[in-house]
């Protein structure tokens, strides 16, 4: 079954652009995102977590925050919240290949 998530075009496009910019600068966000789920089958666990909470608030913020200093060096305009959002975007739309359903 295909996973979907309701979102707005503005939110999706903002973090898709940040993802693409970081990828162009050599940052492997997929690897960073996977590192936040330290188990043998992280994608299976991530899918289960997404089904429980589709905004992934079931992953402690301190895990995302630990990657902020490295990402801030690449994108100086990033805030702590932006860092968390681009990593969640990577988990949801890149790793799990969730289909966005735009509400606007």
Tell me the C-alpha to C-alpha distance, in Å, between residue 91 and each of 18, 29, 47, 54: 14, 9, 9, 11
Supply the pLDDT for residue 78. 82
Instruction: Report if residue 14 sits inside a domain.
Output: yes
- How many structural domains compose the chain? 1
How far is Cα 5 from Cα 97, in angstroms, rounded to an integer? 10
Instruction: Report if residue 104 sits inside a domain.
Output: no
Query: Per-residue confidence at 29, pLDDT binned at 50, 70, 90?
Result: very high
Find out whether 69 and 11 touch, Cβ atoms under 8 Å.
no
Supply the pLDDT for residue 24. 93
Instruction: Report if residue 50 sits inside a domain.
Output: yes
pLDDT in tens, 65-98: 998 887 877 777 788 999 999 999 999 999 999 9
| Residue of 65, 64, 68 whose CA lies nearest to 33 | 64
Instruction: Report if residue 42 sits inside a domain.
Output: yes
Supply the pLDDT for residue 73. 77
Find the domain containing 41 and state its range. 4-99
Supply the pLDDT for residue 62. 95
Find out whether 81 and 14 touch, Cβ atoms under 8 Å.
no
Supply the pLDDT for residue 74. 76
């Amino acid at each position: 079954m295909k996973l979907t998530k309701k979102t707005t075009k503005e939110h999706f496009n903002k973090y898709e652009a940040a993802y693409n910019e970081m990828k162009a600068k050599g940052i492997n966000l997929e690897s960073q995102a996977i590192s936040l789920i330290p188990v043998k089958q992280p994608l299976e666990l991530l899918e289960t977590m997404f089904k429980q909470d589709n905004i992934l608030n079931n992953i402690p913020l301190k895990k995302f925050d630990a990657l902020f200093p490295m990402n801030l060096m690449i994108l100086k305009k990033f805030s702590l919240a932006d860092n968390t959002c681009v990593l969640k975007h990577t988990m949801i739309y890149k790793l799990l290949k969730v289909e966005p359903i735009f509400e606007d």
